[in-house]
Amino acid sequence: MEIVVLNGSPKGELGVTLQYLRFAERKFPGHRFRYLHPAQGIHRLERDEGAFAAVMDAVGKADGVVWAFPLYYMLVCSQYKRFIELVFERGGRGAFAGKYAAAVSTSVHFFDHTAHAYIHGICDDLGMAYVGGYSAAMYDLARRRERERWLTFFDSFLDAARRRAPTARVHPPLPEGAPFTYRPSPPAETLNTGGMRVLVVKDGRPPGGNVDAMVAGLVSYLGGGAEVFDLAQIDIKGGCLGCCRCGLDNTCQYLGRDGYIDFYEHKVKKADALVLAGAVHDRYLSARWKAFFDRSFYNTHVPTLTGKRLAYLVSGPLGHLPNLREILSAYAEFEEVNPVGFVTDEAQDGEVIDALLGETARRLVDPRTAAYRPPMTFLGVGGHKIFRDEIYGDLRFVFQADHRYYVKNRLYDFPQGRYRTRMRNLVMMTLLRIPAFRRRFLKEIKKKMVEPLQRIAETK
């Protein structure tokens, strides 16, 4: 069979993920592998329709397609995202329809599930027969058992493609929705921003839906007290290249070559409240938005928006994209912001949207919420533990700036360091071997568990 590998790494042949496919190619010599690098070559694919057609031609001739990609900000990198947009924009669906598909990623498992759900959804939208996804940790390939696991997965994929096994669509098509144009009404009142710096960043370029109108509606409540930037105005020369130069001291290889870092340092970091506005493009926001998030990686694994308020304005079917909502919520948790919420145009009712924008504007500038940061959910807690372990361990010598930050901010909160807890566990585990103690323990456990909290609830 002919297997086309769509490499989603900006590093091309030097990608970690690609090595998994090179290994599989050697182990399954009866098949022909063809490697394409649409992420690395995205500028050419955008400019040169012939080059893009050659990719579609290769896909069209393949029996199986492997989406091989690194995780970038809970999704694929912006360059790969742009490639996917081009497929839809240039009518490339036909080349993909009916092809057997698998996805393989490498990462540190931080929101690998959202990236896989995205690619799975794209495969469904392209009419592909999606067989499965494989999420490897970066260096799994160096371990014998993990190599065996990977080969088993790949073998099953080849087998499914050969047998033309039936597959089910998992992600329903997104609703088209009747065309709706939102026109903001003049606000009933304008709010006093109290000198707060509110920064609105939007990408309203076509197909931008109601993004511009929603931004105008929100800003009108703030009486002009917000600064609005269009992503198209910001000089972003390209997506993150994955060079990891930033790991040592947060210096990006784009420094001085475009306007992104200047914008992030002097506008984003200086704002008190942020509003990010964009339209749904396929199953995420635009690739331009993705580049914005990816390029912020020069700050590596450290939050840069701590304490700010953050609101999202989304034009499009966000209600049908819980994966996208999870990504945007996780971003807020990782960045330690006070999330003000989401406003979408899904209500298709101008008055409802006016009211929601008014409420969002109010919450953005409400002094009562200035110091509030909600407790983290699994998204933030789980993410923290992954980064903590990686930066303490394998990633430390590359991401030295993170290590310094984690030490300074006491983020290495390993339970091993809690000596009282360790001592208590030791004593209790020993005592619980005694049958009489064990019986009494089981009788009293509910009461004892709640006792310390009852004391606080009744006295503090």
Asked if 109 is part of the footprint of ligand FMN (rule: CB under 6 A), the reply reads yes
Decide if residue 85 touches ligand FMN (CB under 6 A).
no
81 binds ligand FMN (CB under 6 A): no
Classified as helix, coil or strand, 113 is helix
Query: Is residue 70 within a helix (H) or strand (E), and if so which, with residue range?
Result: strand 64-70
Closest CB 73 distance from ligand FMN, rounded Å: 5
Stretch that binds ligand FMN, among 69-77, 150-158, 344-352, 425-433 (CB under 6 A): 69-77
Q: Say how far apart CA 457 and CA 460 lie, in whole Å.
A: 6
DSSP H helix total and E strand total for the chain: 17, 10
- Give me the helix-helix angle, 78-89 and 287-295, nearest 10°: 180
Distance CA 340, CA 200 (A): 14
Q: Quick one: 137 or 191, whose CB is closer to ligand FMN? A: 137
Q: Which of these ranges, 70-78, 96-104, 117-125, 202-210, lies near ligand FMN under the rule CB under 6 A?
A: 70-78
Nearer to ligand FMN, 204 or 380 (CB): 380
Residue 387 in contact with ligand FMN, rule: CB under 6 A: no
The yes or no reply on residue 150 touching ligand FMN (CB under 6 A) is no
For ligand FMN, which stretch binds (CB under 6 A), given 59-67, 102-110, 272-280, 411-419? Answer: 102-110
Q: Whole-angstrom Cα distance, residue 242 to residue 72?
A: 9
For ligand FMN, give the closer residue by CB, 3 or 252. Answer: 252
What is the distance between the alpha carbons of residues 93 and 105, in angstroms, rounded to a whole number? 23
By the rule CB under 6 A, 114 interacts with ligand FMN: no
Among positions 116-135, residues that touch ligand FMN (CB under 6 A) are none
Q: Does 240 bind ligand FMN (CB under 6 A)?
A: yes
Contacting range for ligand FMN; rule: CB under 6 A; set: 66-74, 203-211, 313-321, 345-353 = 66-74
Kindly state the number of chain residues that form the binding site for ligand FMN, as judged by CB under 6 A: 22
Residue 21 CB neighbour total at 10 angstroms: 20
Task: Kindly tell me which of 45 and 74 has the beta carbon lying closer to ligand FMN.
Answer: 74
| Buried-state track 193-228, b at ≥16 Cβ within 10 A, e below 16 | beebebbbbbbbbeebbbbbbbbbbbbbbbeebbeb
Question: Is the backbone of residue 427 left (phi > 0), alpha (psi -120 to 50) or beta?
Answer: alpha
Residue 292's nearest CA partner among 232, 248, 216, 339 is: 232
Residues that bind ligand FMN (CB under 6 A): 9, 11, 15-17, 70-74, 106-112, 138, 240, 242, 294, 297
